[in-house]
Amino acid sequence: MKRRLSLVVGMVVFLALGVMAQDVTRVPGGSHINGTEPQTASKPAPDWIVPASSVERQEDAGLRMHTNIVFRSLDGSDKPTHGASPAAIAAIDPLVTVGRYEETPQSLGCIYLGSPSSAGCLPNYSSGAGGPSAAGWGAIAVVEAGDDSSFFADMSAFDSYWGLPGASLTKVEMRNSCSTTPDCSAFGWCGEDALDSEFAHVYASKAAIVMVEACSTSTADLMAAESEAFNYIAKTFGGGTVSNSFGGAEFSGETSYDSLFTTFGNGLDGYPVTAFASAGDSGCGAAWPSSNPWLTSAGGTSIYRLTTTGHFKEEGCWSGSGGGVSSVETMGQSLDYQYPMCGNDTSACPGNPSNRLTPDFAFNSDPNSGVDLYQGSFYGGWTCCWGGTSEASPSLAAVVDRANNRLSSCWYNPFNGWCFYTNAENNLLYSQLPTYTAYTANFYDITPATSDGVNNGCTVAKGWDYCTGVGSPRRTLGK
């Protein structure tokens, strides 16, 4: 297997030109596309737009993957809203009429990590507004399709505007099935590249960001990139997390790929790596690789603000968030983190052993509480307002990296020298559900009350549910 590596540490200065059109599907009233009829949330939300790269086609199941990125346009067009800066974009429409704002590194860092503290965790669109304090270890790998030629420059521009520490960046171009890696624009993945890398860096700025670029959107090519992502960050950085914002419908042969999302190795050769995957943007229903029980599935939330002050009000289920019961994946003896919740309840948790349920926990994904991205080669600079569970996967990967527990699917036990295979991250998340103090301190419980009447077509409930899993993170304890 051939690959080409590019390494940049710190900042790079770049000016990007040109904006290209993109095929889109408009989704009215908070509903979503899932290959059949759109479903409508119980309380309508403003339109969001599904780029062609995120449209799920049943005929692609098992053959190729789609992105889980969506956006809301503020200017009435079917393209992301452009501006010279986030402040210029925010001036177009701050979304106060629906209790939503564009979110920023500063406001999201305040909500999810409590740093920096700010009354009401207000979004700040001004240059140098900052974000969470510097933290993180090892590396966060993001697996993408195609080459993002402006990756280094985009990260530099993003960090410079927000006043974030410069990132240690590596790009790995896979050459397993191509002699030259196609540009990300060939697949419509350039916005995905920016969202994954920029917001992984926001919450764990000391972790290196490694972009592993597959030759295509085919399942085979992305799985080759997945294997490389695990191997590269383990051997180069000693471990970290891997984020996968792509997904697709479940298929009969998916379990043959599941081991690629685990760390294999015995004794001191085992490296702490945990994988994450987006739960999907098509509402109720399980998707793969999110349903792989060896990784952590990322669901989506909406952030609501007071229309009078803009202060944080509550966090609810995003109506587009994926989540459901896998028709293929089951939980084995070493993957029992959901069994205490389900037992043999075949009505709520079908199968014996129980079928895999998704998601595991959740993060802001609603484009109506979306974020600004800087992507130069395709979009020409700053655009908004982006969301989808493609925001949740890299963000949660970064929160877990920041927590520095260095969990893995292979835990070396010095007592007997064995490597115990289990999903240690999910064991930790689910172990807090029955606790009185830890759960309420470490997670925000999304319920029907906090969701403002919105669901994703599945039940939203106190504790675990099919939209947000155990909830959304608050600070880094228990992650």
Domain of residue 328 covers 2-473
Q: Which tens digit of pLDDT belongs to each residue from 95-122?
A: 655 667 899 999 999 999 987 666 779 9
Specify the number of domains making up the chain: 1
Phi-psi region of 431 (alpha: psi -120 to 50; beta: other; left: phi over 0): alpha
CATH code: domain of residue 297: 3.40.50.200
Q: Which tens digit of pLDDT belongs to each residue from 359-396?
A: 999 999 999 999 999 999 999 999 999 999 999 999 99
Pairing of strands 296-305, 312-317: antiparallel
Q: How many Cβ atoms are within 10 Å of 74's Cβ, its own excluded?
A: 22
Residue 126 domain-assigned (yes or no) = yes
pLDDT for the residue numbered 25: 34
Q: Token pair for residue 113? A: 């990590």
Q: What is the pLDDT along the chain (479 residues), one digit of tens a residue?
A: 444 444 333 333 222 323 333 333 333 333 333 222 222 333 334 478 999 999 998 889 989 999 999 999 988 889 999 999 999 999 887 665 566 789 999 999 999 998 766 677 999 999 999 999 999 999 999 999 999 999 999 999 999 999 999 999 999 999 999 999 999 999 999 999 999 999 999 999 999 999 999 999 999 999 999 999 999 999 999 999 999 999 999 999 999 999 999 986 544 556 899 999 999 999 999 999 999 999 999 999 999 988 888 889 899 999 999 999 999 999 887 788 998 888 777 776 776 668 999 999 999 999 999 999 999 999 999 999 999 999 999 999 999 999 999 999 988 777 777 778 889 999 999 999 999 999 999 999 999 999 888 999 998 999 999 999 999 999 999 99
pLDDT for the residue numbered 308: 82
- 198 contact partners, CB below 8 Å, separation of at least 6: 154, 155, 158, 373, 374
Q: Is 476 helix (H, G, I), strand (E, B) or coil?
A: coil
Q: Per-residue DSSP letters for 202-270? A: HH-TTSEEEEEEESSSBHHHHHHHHHHHHHHHHHHHS-EEEEE--BB---TTGGGGGGGGS----GGG-
SS3 breakdown of the chain: % helix, strand, coil, rounded to 5? 25, 25, 50
Residue 478 domain-assigned (yes or no) = no
Residue 59 burial by Cβ neighbours in a 10 Å radius (0-12, 13-18, 19+): exposed
Residue 281 domain-assigned (yes or no) = yes
Residue 479 domain-assigned (yes or no) = no
Q: Is 356 helix (H, G, I), strand (E, B) or coil?
A: strand
Nearest CA to 21 out of 379, 382, 381 is that of 379
Residue 46 domain-assigned (yes or no) = yes
Does the predicted TM-score (pTM) go above 0.85?
yes
pLDDT for the residue numbered 310: 85
